[in-house]
Structure formats: C-alpha cells, structure tokens
Amino acid sequence: MLDPISLSLPGTHDILRAELPNGIVVLARENFAAESVVLTGSLESGSIFEPLEQSGLAGFTASSLMRGTRAYDFDAMYETLENMAARLAVSGNTFSTVFSAKSLAEDLPTLLQLTAETLLHPVFPVDQTERLRGELMNSLKIAAQSTRAVSSDLMRQQLYSPDHPYYAVSALEQIETLKKLTLNDLKAFHARHYGPRGMIVVVVGAVKAEEAVKLVEDTFGGWSNPDQPALPAIPEASPLSEIRREAAVLPGKTQVDISMGWLGPRRTDPDYQAVVMANSILGAFGMMGRLGAAVREREGFAYYAASRYSTAKAQGPWSAITGVNPKNAEEAIRLIVGEIERITTEPVSESELADNKANFTGSLPLALESNEGVAGTIHSMENYRLGLDYLYRYRDLIEAITVEDVLKAVQHYLNPRAFALGIAGPEVVG
C-alpha cells in the first residue's frame, strides 16, 4: 500500500509556477502514472461585465468561441479535436470564462494551439452563431420548465438586487434578451474583456513541468489587451429582514421544488472555513446532513433535501433545497426552518464537528486521484490566492475550527425568520 504521506499533496515543491510578462499565471504539475494531460484555466471575462439588459451576453460569447476562429472553421476545429479524441470546452460563469481540455500527452501542443485559437481569435461566423442561438433558446425553454431551476432563480431574485452579480434573470426573460444580442455585441464583448490580465492556466499530466510552462508561454506569451478592464466593484448586498416568498406554477409537474437562500461569505472572509464546515453539518455530511435526516430519513418526504454553499468571490448564496410532493411542501419548509432555528441557537456537538473535520481532511486522497481533481485544486489555490502550500496548511486550518466558530458563523449568515424562498411546481401552495 502506498504510504498516505507519500501521496505527496500538490505543493510548492512540485508545482511549477510562472508569471508571464503579460500577466498570465501558468502552473504545471507532472504525473507520469497516466498517459493523458489535463489543461484547465480561466479568464476574467464573466457575466459580471454584462449589463442587465444584455443578460446572457458573456455566456453566449463564451459558447460561440469554438464555432469558428481565424485559422479553424467549426468543422476543422472539431475534426482536429475529435481526430485526437481530445476534449476542449469553454463556458461562462459569473466572474470568469473557464476552459478545460484533455488529450494524450503527445497531443498537448495541438491542444494548446486550439485553445489559443479559441480564446484569442474567434470570428463569430454568422451561420454558426445563429445556430448556437437556437440551441441556447431550447436550453432556456427546458430550464423555464424545470422546477428545480425555476425555484432557484426565484430564490436569487428575492435575495439579490438586479445589479448584483448573483441575481438570476429568469430563463423566460433571458430568451428575450438572447433574441436581441447581435454579432457585434459578441465581438465587442470579446475584444474588450478577453485578455491575459487575470488569466490562469494549469497543466497536469504526463508532461515535464518546464516543458508545459514553455508550451503555454510560446502559445499565449504574445497576447496583449491593454484596454481590458479590471473586475468592477461588487455592490454590497444586505441580508433580508423578512421572509420573501415567490412561487411559480409549472403545469403538468408532479413535484414541487423548494429553494431557500441566505447571503453567504466571500472566499476571502475570515469565517469562510467555518461556513463550509457548518454547511456540511447542516446539509451535506452523511446522508445530506441534518436536513437529509429530517426531511428524507425521518419523514420520508423527499429523495433529496440538502444545503449548498459554493465558494464565491462575492457574497454567494447559501441555500437549502428539496423536492417534494405538493401536499408535503409546507411541512418540508417547516422542517427546514426548524433545522435552521436549531443550528443557529444550539452549538453543534463536539462529535459532529469532529466527524466533519475527519471528512474534510480524510477525503483529500479521493479528491486528488485524477489529473482533473489535481488541476482543479491548483486552479483554486491560485484563483483565490490561497498559496501553493495551502494543502499543507489545510489540516491545521480545519482542526482550528471550534464549536463556537461554527455557531458564530451560522448566526451571522442564517436566520430562520428572514430568508428568500422560491417555490416551483404544479400548484401554488400557501
């Protein structure tokens, strides 16, 4: 058996980090136990830069990039990729455009070449972009009829003001804005917001680290965009002081989805780690934590009842979600509110905290089994400025969390009498 110590967590000793003169940060780690190589990265060109009336612009732009570039039309792009059995995907999120790719190690130079073409030189061909618009419209139509997606959108609309990056424009409204976006809008967004400043590239796999960095430098080192704007200031959101409830009727459904939300911390906030721990206790650990125990295991109301907090640069939503039969909706909400009441008034037990700590530190081998897992972890360390020794400090960070830290964190963010509530299903309840 491998010595768990020799697992050799990725760290300063085996991650090669280089800052290119144009601002791109490149990180590489070798793994010759597999034949593949994984490439992952991000650019600071997310939806945070799009005006509300152009909702969907950043995502549409990101999705259009592989539809044709200076040197590769759509067919040539996918011929090259699929002939190598390689993958490349680009998508937009709130703060960034993210890309991920995988190929056999021998094909890395070609993969990087295609990635650079995609990010630097898209041409937004009219036929391809219109085809994509139609596909996106269909996805939005499907989302508009998903009880889960609609309940989540309603929750975010109650929790955030429309100028906040985590406000959710509904799928039906997005269909309308998507219709109006022009090719010139996409081209202008790309020209202005895609650039090397804030860009991170991670390479993990069967390639020498120095060679990987050099390949990235050869491919992206000459890129510049002096007008690329910095991330804008994010408006401070205020916690709700009451329950804001909104429901939508989706005909023909048999299940009601419920989403309750509160403002969560930023990744840089000092109580971030305590919140992630509290979230695990509330709705993740074991069979979906305390929420799973109450709603699924004790009452048998739902297939899932869980809490979610995603690491975020801004005050991301911290939410509780479940899907139940319409006749149980009110009781499920009552059960969840009861668990929020309990976790914000009674300290969690020492043993509960110890179990969750053991999970946080013990699950690293699984999280780092694949090249994809290692690449994602390295990207996070860079993106949130955690330091490349983060995994070596991680155990101490987790062990330092106390029962009081958890209680303080939940009292700061969660409130059983003030939250955003989105409900979507076949009939409006309440």
Partner 1 sequence: MITPQSLIHAPVRHILPNGLTVLLKEMHTAPVISFWVLYRVGSRNEPTGLTGASHWVEHMLFKGTPQFPAGYLDKAIDREGGEWNAQTSYDYTAYYETMPADRIDLALRAESDRMVNAVFDLEEVESERTVILSERQGSEGSSWFWLGEEVHAAAFRVHGYRHKIIGDTHDLLTMTRDDLYQHYRKHYVPANAIVAVSGDFSPEIMLKRITELFGSIPGGQRPKLFARPEPPQQGERRVKVERPGPTHNLLIAYRAPAVTDPDWLKLLMLDAILDGASVPGGGAVGSRTARLYQALVKTELASSVGTGLNETLDPYLYTFSATAREGHSLEEIEADLEAVLSKAVQGELTQAELERARKQIRALQAYSAESISSQAFRLAYFEHVAGGFEWVESAHEHLLAVTLEDIHEVARKYLKPSTRTVGYFIPTQEAARA
Q: Which is nearer to partner 1, 68 or 196 (CB)?
A: 68
Binding mask 76-115 for partner 1 (x = CB under 8 A): --xx-xxxxxxx--------------xxx-----------
Shortest reach from residue 168's CB to partner 1, in Å: 13
Q: Which is nearer to partner 1, 25 or 168 (CB)?
A: 168
Q: Burial of 335 by CB count in 10 Å (0-12 exposed, 13-18 middle, 19+ buried)? A: buried
Binding mask 158-197 for partner 1 (x = CB under 8 A): ------------x-x-------------------------
Shortest reach from residue 373's CB to partner 1, in Å: 10
Considering only residues 200 through 229, tell me which ones interact with partner 1, judged by CB under 8 A: none
Shortest reach from residue 173's CB to partner 1, in Å: 10
Sign, CA dihedral 271-274-280-283, equals negative
Q: Which is nearer to partner 1, 104 or 397 (CB)?
A: 104
Exposure pattern of 110-146 as b/e (b: 16+ CB <10 Å)? Answer: ebbbbbbbbbbebbbbeebbeebbeebeeebeebbeb
Q: Which amino acid is at 284?
A: A
Considering only residues 118 through 137, tell me which ones interact with partner 1, judged by CB under 8 A: 130-131, 134-135, 137
Binding mask 259-298 for partner 1 (x = CB under 8 A): --------------------------xxx-----x--xxx
Distance CA 86, CA 37 (A): 10
Considering only residues 24 through 43, tell me which ones interact with partner 1, judged by CB under 8 A: 32-36
- Per DSSP, helices labelled H in 284-328 are 285-291
Opening angle at CA 307, ends 254 and 49, nearest 5: 95
- CB contact at 8 A, 41 and 170: no
Q: Which is nearer to partner 1, 44 or 107 (CB)?
A: 107
Q: Which is nearer to partner 1, 24 or 329 (CB)?
A: 329
Binding mask 45-74 for partner 1 (x = CB under 8 A): -----------------------------x
146 makes contact with partner 1 (CB under 8 A): yes
Binding mask 312-331 for partner 1 (x = CB under 8 A): -----------xxx------
Reading the block at residue 425, the tokens are 């299903």
For tokens 């889960």, the residue is 148
Helix axes 350-362, 390-399, angle to 10 degrees: 170
- CB contact at 8 A, 19 and 25: yes
Considering only residues 351 through 380, tell me which ones interact with partner 1, judged by CB under 8 A: 355, 358-359, 361-366, 368-371
Q: Which amino acid is at 299?
A: E
Number of residues binding to partner 1, judged by CB under 8 A: 81
- CB contact at 8 A, 297 and 291: no
